[in-house]
Chains A and B, each alone.
Chain A
Amino acid sequence: MVNLEEIKKEAKNILEEGKVKYIIGYAKSSNALMAAPTFVKKPEDIDKLIWDPTCFQNLVKFLLDEKRKKAREKEPDIRPVGIFVKGCDSRAINVLLQEKFITREDVYIIGLSCEDLGVLDEKKIFKKLKGEEPEKIEFDQRKNIVISTKEKTIKIPLKEILAERCLECTSSFPVISDVFWGDRNNRSPKEPFKSLEQIESLSQEKKWDFWQQQLSKCIRCYACRSVCPMCYCDECVVDSINLAITADTTAEEKSQKIKWIEKSPESSENFGYHLVRAMHLAGRCIDCSECERVCPVDIPLRLLNKKLEKVAKELFDYKAGLDPEQPSLVSSFKDEDPEDFIR
């Protein structure tokens, strides 16, 4: 069992000893169903920390900010940052280590197993509430969630409202950590790619229609990119921020700055953006499905990444983020590869 009091004790210790700069964890937010990231700097603030199935966010994203901040400072504090990670989040850390974006010394990993649960899916809960607003929630023995609305109190078994990714999760515990709470039981879901079944059964035309309709909703707020711990490019394909112009920059050079994807939320541009993103996540996405959770217009983005995960698994027996030492999928090949072009 994950014991919050023990975690707080550890958090207090490492802050008091100065072992970490600060701790990225979860606290309550004004939304009863969702925790918010919190950044604890002082030992006296540890009581804000919480741990329950409302802790959706993949906090690893904030390690990217930390890296950039450190790069800007003249004499940066080089102590590690403490961070709460779930199973999926820990795989994100492994990918960042594998890609040498961060080093092991940058993080102090507080590993928390989801055990037999995971995180909630707010949309599933809203369906059950039928339009009523949750005012207070409680967890009953890790079995049920008890939600009080203005009108009534309802009890829902947690298994019915867990996020899809948690139902298909094969390793619900952190695979890398400095301290660890909870069990390390591997899960073997019967159908780890069940969510793909429906879309895979469609004809090519129907698939195209489906994505045409879904991606036409995109408003290009880039929340999917902004929340993704794997999206750390200084210049994203949709941005144009790195063309530094000097007195010597010619008009021609300026005009030749390639714009791959226009700003307009038109279907072709939206496809460009989302497919480039999906391809860049092949063999890297660790299925935290934050992109899908944060999308304000409900585009089922996880399907794109999950499909690529399945292809990587089936063709190369590759799963992202299990080991920071493993060669990355797209920058390695095996001698027994049946394709000739690779040699």
Chain B
Amino acid sequence: MEKILTKKSFPAWVKNLQSYTVYAPEKQENLWSYEVIQNPDKINLEYLNTVLAPKKITYPQREIFLQFNTSKEGKPQIKEVLPEEQPAVIFGVRPCDAKAITLTDKVFGEEPKDPYYWSRRNQTILVGLTCNPPPSPNCFCLSVGGSPHSKEGLDILMTDMGDKYHIDSLTKKGEKLIKAAENLFKPASPKDKKELEKIQRESEKKIKREIKDIKNIPDKLKDMFESPFWDEEAMSCIRCGICTYLCPTCYCFDITDELTSTLPLKGKRVRTWDTCQFPDFTMHSSGHNPRPDKASRLRQRILHKFQYHVENYQDYLCTGCGRCISLCPMGIDIIEILNKVRDYE
């Protein structure tokens, strides 16, 4: 269902969504971040890439699985904690970040389905925004099968058309949001649709960075596991977690027990994000570490995204948001690495 909404009416629409927790990009000091919006009049959809992807909402960095304590008689009590189901809408989702959520959906959707992830995910509505212009100079969604106006994973795609938005409702969840304030929307005219196509074509031309012949890369990587290439490329890596924590597709986690008291035993079992870039990620209890150095960890990041995930799910585990490039303190650039892989002899 294609509709038109004037920019003036946008806050009125959001005000009609009171039964939802509404998130939108908000500028905090110098950085953009998805935050809960109290005042819809203040939503600014002309934003650059947020530091953290909306993954931080659908798959938070920390969540409690269960609580445990021992009673006076020494009996252990365990209580499962599921996220409180609260319907949420995220405005201003970039198409790359929405696509990323479809990738984590597949991973957490494998049997047995992850109830923690899904109780939150099922309640989340994603309202996207066509990227025109691209929000980062390192955007490369076109190279990994995406586009600045891709609808994949979204419930609604909004496109900025000057003084109005084109609103493309893509799912039942999206319809429901529009029904909440139906009188604000007008049907899109054939002229609007033509204008939309033009904007979308232009938005693609503005993406400057590219991985050429990416389809050859997964096969190429298979023969490069033992290559000294990784030692060279990882020389400048400092093994921080920026590239993976900011990645909208990275989903690795750790589960730990956090004690608040030892006698009586009390605490929580929590899941927190973890990353293949940290030395203790693969540390065995014996002290042996199968990925002992930063070269093997950089290799893991690239191979997971461009070989293993392709083998397991027929898709790259990368949606071209460019965050890992823009924020790497040492200038490590995944596009340059993959272009080198492609040309490696």
Chain A positions near chain B (C-beta within 8 angstroms)? 29-31, 34-39, 57, 61-62, 65, 123, 126-127, 131, 133, 219-223, 225-227, 239-246, 262-266, 290, 293-294, 296-298
Contact = CB atoms under 8 A, between A and B. Distances in A.
Interface in B257-298: 258, 270, 272, 274-275, 278-280, 283, 285-287, 289, 294
Nearest to A28: B331
A39 B236 contact: yes
B19 to A, nearest CB: 28
Interface string B281-319: 001011101000010000000000000000000000000
Contacts of A239: 278-280
Contacts of B29: 298
B329 A220 contact: no
B30 A126 contact: yes
B210 interface: no
Contacts of A296: 51, 242, 245-246, 327
B287 A245 contact: yes
Given A219-B52, A265-B61, A30 B31 contact: no
Most buried by B among A36, A266, A290: A36
Contacts of A65: 294
A223 B329 contact: yes
A58 B246 CA distance: 23
Contacts of B240: 221-223, 225-227, 294
B61 A219 contact: yes
A131 B246 CA distance: 21
Say whether chain A's binding surface is mostly helix, strand, loop, or mixed: loop
30 contacts: A29-B333, A30-B336, A35-B331, A37-B236, A57-B330, A219-B241, A220-B241, A221-B240, A221-B241, A222-B240, A223-B241, A226-B239, A226-B240, A241-B280, A241-B283, A242-B287, A243-B285, A243-B287, A244-B286, A244-B287, A245-B286, A262-B258, A265-B61, A265-B272, A266-B62, A293-B329, A294-B240, A294-B242, A296-B51, A296-B327
Nearest to A64: B238
A13 to B, nearest CB: 23
B325 A263 contact: no
Say whether chain B's binding surface is mostly helix, strand, loop, or mixed: loop
Contacts of A242: 287
A221 B329 CA distance: 12
A227 B235 CA distance: 13
Contacts of A133: 137
Contact of A30 (B235, B242, B335): B335
Contacts of B235: 37, 39, 62
B238 A227 contact: yes
A217 to B, nearest CB: 8
A35 to B, nearest CB: 7
B204 to A, nearest CB: 17
Contact of A222 (B236, B241, B294): B241
Contacts of B171: none
Contacts of B66: none
B254 A263 contact: yes
A30 B325 contact: yes
A131 B48 contact: yes
Given A131-B48, A241-B279, A221 B245 contact: yes
B21 interface: no
Most buried by A among B137, B238, B256, B283: B238
Given A126-B30, A239-B278, A293-B329, 18 more contacts: A29-B331, A30-B138, A34-B331, A36-B332, A37-B331, A57-B330, A65-B294, A219-B52, A221-B240, A223-B241, A226-B238, A227-B240, A241-B279, A262-B258, A262-B270, A265-B272, A294-B329, A296-B327
A269 B137 CA distance: 35
Most buried by B among A62, A245, A296: A296
B327 A30 contact: no
Contacts of A227: 238, 240, 329
